[in-house]
Structure 1
Amino acid sequence: MGGGRRMTLEPNYEPRPGLTHRDADWSGLHVLVVGLGVSGFAAADALAERGAHVTAVSRDVTDVITERGRILEILGVDVRLGPEHVHTPPEGTELVVTSPGVPPHDALMLAAATAGIPVWGEVELAWRMRAREGAAPWLTVTGTNGKTTTVGMLASILRAAGLRATAAGNVGTPILEAVLHPEPFDVIAVELSSFQLHWQRSVSAVASAVLNVAPDHLDWHGSYAEYLRAKGRIYDNTHIACVYNVADLQTEQLVMDADVVEGCRAVGFTLGVPAPSMVGIVDDVLADRAFVEQRQHSAAELCTLDDLRGDLEAVPPHYVANALAAAALARAYGVGPIAVRDGLRAFRPDRHRIAAVDVPGPVRWVNDSKATNTHAAAAALRSFDSVVWIAGGLLKGADVDGLVQEAASRLRGVVLLGRDRAEIADALARHAPDVPVIDVAATDTGAMDLVVAHAARLAQPGDVVLLAPAAASMDMFDNYGARGDAFEEAVRRHVIGEGA
């Protein structure tokens, strides 16, 4: 770790000296806020409250956005809705604060760069809106998959240690809301996407983790190298520990390339027996050889695999890896082993993540609609031996060949849906030509009933029908949650109908 800071060809990142805390002089600063989702609304509100001249623009015009615009107008914000307002910054703009969904090649972002206007993301703004003294430290997590689960586990561990803690960032609650909460937190577990990390430069976490990296969002970043560069930014300026995945050499390389605070350590997590400065598994025990005094010869027991089980039928390997990463971050912050155990015992994963649908019968139905990329789908498929796989949607430029090749021996059959299903079908023809494939072209509200009916015909007793689409959902559904709900409802209709 170390080396010099990464050289970047970008405009001055400081629109005004001293904007490093919420009580700095923000007054009169001309700021353009791009996007009026929850994070954009929070940014415009916080800046206006501190006397900045705020213009807020949104390409989308929905009822929710219109209502947010009305509220901001009352606060003195100049709100401009519609695509005609998102091409160039208004004259006199000194800072652009962008929502994470806006890519760097967007016309407005390119115009800002050409004009030499600094661009911050919501995370950068949130870091600079922390209190001057006594601000809650951040423990940060990114990765292609597992971020939300790991951050949830981490927050549960921190609360078990008696700390006032929350999960925020990409997980749902805007990080700016957590930072400005009227009842300050002791510590914040922060989930960061590659979109958010692309725009941040100042965050200095106590401990940070990259869980894994695989090609994703290449349409947004432009290349895998740029995606990796964004992920690696999470390690920059870390104080105590950079947590990496021993099984993913790219994450370790990102640590090695990072410019960290002097004295920061690299801490690995592994599903094998941990070496010194790692956390891992000894028999069925999660063990810490990183944050104990005699780590060359001893380890601290954190919990058992059974402690992780909760409501799960089985504990998938990637779930154990998430628990190890969360434990490492908490231990870096000084949390004791008992609180790690209690927090992991108490944690329950969110819906749509390897969630069994509670229906009777010899076939198990599993909803992993959150598997919106190939890496997540591969982890889900590895969890079962004989699978009828439901896949398809928006692939976002991802290559599915490796996923299909690895999963081929586990596949009883495949049912495809969504816009980019032909790419998966082509990969199946190359790497699993003997596996039956059913193509569902329908995109209406009854499409999932067709998918489930076809999957049921392919499945045999003991099989798992797994919704792990390897793709985003927005071609057919509002989000992955709506897709998962549609799957579960269709399964219940099918099973109850068959049993009637």
Structure 2
Amino acid sequence: MEGLLVKKIGFVGLGASNFELLKYIRSTYPEWECLISEQGKVHEEYRAYLEDEGIFFEQDGHTEKILESDFFVMSPGISPRSAIGRRIISSGKPVTTELEFSLKELKKRKKGVFIGITGTNGKTTTTSMLGHIMKEKGLNVFVGGNIGVPLATAMKDDYDFYVLEVSSFQLNWFDSKEPVFHLSSVLNVAEDHLDYHGTFSEYLAQKKKIITLTSEYSILQEDLVNKFDIQRNAHIVPFSLKGKGLLSVKDGIMNFHKVRLDLTRYITTRHNWENALVAIALAHFSGISVFDALEKLVSYKYPRHRLMKVETIEGVCYIDDSKATNAHAVVKALENFQPSDIVLILAGKGKDESFNELLPRLKMLKKVIIIGDELGLVEKLDHDISYEVVDNMKQAVEKAHKAALAGNVVLFSPGGSSFDRYRNYKERGEDFINEVKNLRKTAGMMR
């Protein structure tokens, strides 16, 4: 790190991102001693590398050894409220993340435009949309960050644009005082990850960080200007969901200054109109015309497990929205259908949310099915909500099938993290898909 005398660098957690950065540091700063501390087991492939390189590592918990480091690279998933998080903060030593370290290293080259996209929901879609637009234009672009491809993997190449998904976990450990992004966006902010951040105000504060880390334009929802308590200036580009202002969208019609675009020609889901609006606006500030940007979205393929149609069985449409890991995402999904036609399947591990935004909408649905109760939702349900608690995905799909009629929608939009029963939301979504496919074989016998 610039201006810091480094002898020992401590990696707290060794996931894919930190492992990629470790390899870069070993080749670029061989004089630094690397220490590795992992709460669980070190991945077998990573362990072999550590042993071959003679790098100190500990697993199954953190000891005093890691605190000998001069500065720390944190795995973003480690909460500042955790025992090791608190100890590192109290040490007063510098802290960074793979993303922040890689940004600073790349910016030394004085080449490339860095774009950061955050928000409670829609980060991955908007990031991949913008990346797709740029690639279709023939631009040399890296797409990664929290989206699953560590920025450290881009160090060996030179790109003209870096489009990066940025999470609140990553922002939490950012220590930069100078801007690291040229452009950024905060799509939306709603209750999420309160088990990690402690309070909604703290979660909001982490999302706000990306604005101060941006040198050119930050695009954010109109209501966030007030929530963040920031001054309106040329640096801030607010967008409205009511069809008003310089940048807005309403009923699928996007307005950008004097330009009017009909997003419904290519995009059917309401929340993706918002995602497309931001992707097109960021493309504009990157030198791509809004007309070109929209045209390139025609060939965009949405990531799996996001309002993805699985099957239509006996006139009932089954939708996989496993990526909906908080209540706000479920609300956004529900907006795409007639409430009285929906049989909703909820599941997952809760994040200490209040569910205040979701609860009134549940009353309007045909039925709600909940897998287990690790969401912590059942005790909040009113007697006028039609719901049933089941034990597993198979039971949930079968109960939903019995409740739904032709023309209805069975929507699997869990509202919680997947870590109660699955390794990730993808595995959970595939389980839903498999159970729906199994249902097709037996549906006629179940009525």
Query: Is the pair's TM-score, using the shorter chain for normalization, greater than 0.5?
Result: yes
Question: Which amino acid in 2 is paired with 1:231?
Answer: K
Partner residue of 1:450?
395
Partner residue of 1:67?
45
- Report the alpha carbon displacement of residue 470 of structure 1 after superposing the two structures with TM: 0.7
Deviations 1:62-114 (A, max 9, x none): 6xx1321221332342222221xx14353641101001110112222222223
- Structure 1 residue runs without a partner (length 5+): 1-14, 20-25, 290-298, 310-314
* C-alpha separation in 2, matches of 1:253 and 1:343: 33
DSSP-derived class of the 2:214 partner: coil
Deviations 1:460-486 (A, max 9, x none): 221111011111111111111111111
* C-alpha separation in 1, matches of 2:264 and 2:66: 57
Deviations 1:415-473 (A, max 9, x none): 1113425x322333x2xx33432211x3xxxx211110001111122111101111111
Matches within 5 A, 1:324-403: 324-385=277-338, 386-403=341-358
Q: RMSD of the TM alignment (CA)?
A: 2.2
Q: 1:461 aligns with which of 403, 406, 428?
A: 406
1:437 to 1:280, Cα distance in 2 relative to 1, 3 A: closer
With the length of structure 1 as denominator, give the TM-score of the two structures. Answer: 0.83
Partner residue of 1:439?
389
Partner residue of 2:157?
183
* C-alpha separation in 2, matches of 1:66 and 1:398: 36
* C-alpha separation in 1, matches of 2:51 and 2:380: 51
- Structure 2 residue runs without a partner (length 5+): none
Q: 1:267 aligns with which of 219, 224, 237?
A: 237
Matches within 5 A, 1:188-227: 188-202=162-176, 203-227=179-203
Question: Which amino acid in 1 is paired with 2:389?
Answer: D
Deviations 1:312-365 (A, max 9, x none): xxx222110011011111112222123312332221110100001134421111
Partner residue of 1:286?
254
Q: Which runs of 4+ in 1 moved over 6 A?
A: none
* C-alpha separation in 2, matches of 1:59 and 1:361: 48
Partner residue of 1:53?
33
C-alpha contact 1:88 1:107 (8 A) present in aligned 2: no
Say yes or no: does 1:44 pair with 2:44. no
- Report the alpha carbon displacement of residue 252 of structure 1 after superposing the two structures with TM: 4.9
Question: Which amino acid in 2 is paired with 1:74?
Answer: D
Say yes or no: does 1:31 pair with 2:5. no
Question: Which amino acid in 1 is paired with 2:363?
Answer: A
Deviations 1:212-249 (A, max 9, x none): 11111111111111101100001113222110113xx1
Question: Which amino acid in 1 is paired with 2:18?
Answer: G
1:361 to 1:204, Cα distance in 2 relative to 1, 3 A: same
C-alpha contact 2:370 2:389 (8 A) present in aligned 1: yes
Deviations 1:117-138 (A, max 9, x none): 1111222211122152333221
C-alpha contact 1:149 1:349 (8 A) present in aligned 2: yes
Aligned length: 439
Deviations 1:187-231 (A, max 9, x none): 011111100001113342111111111111111111111101100
Question: Percent sequence identity over matched residues?
Answer: 29
1:318 to 1:173, Cα distance in 2 relative to 1, 3 A: same
1:257 to 1:483, Cα distance in 2 relative to 1, 3 A: farther
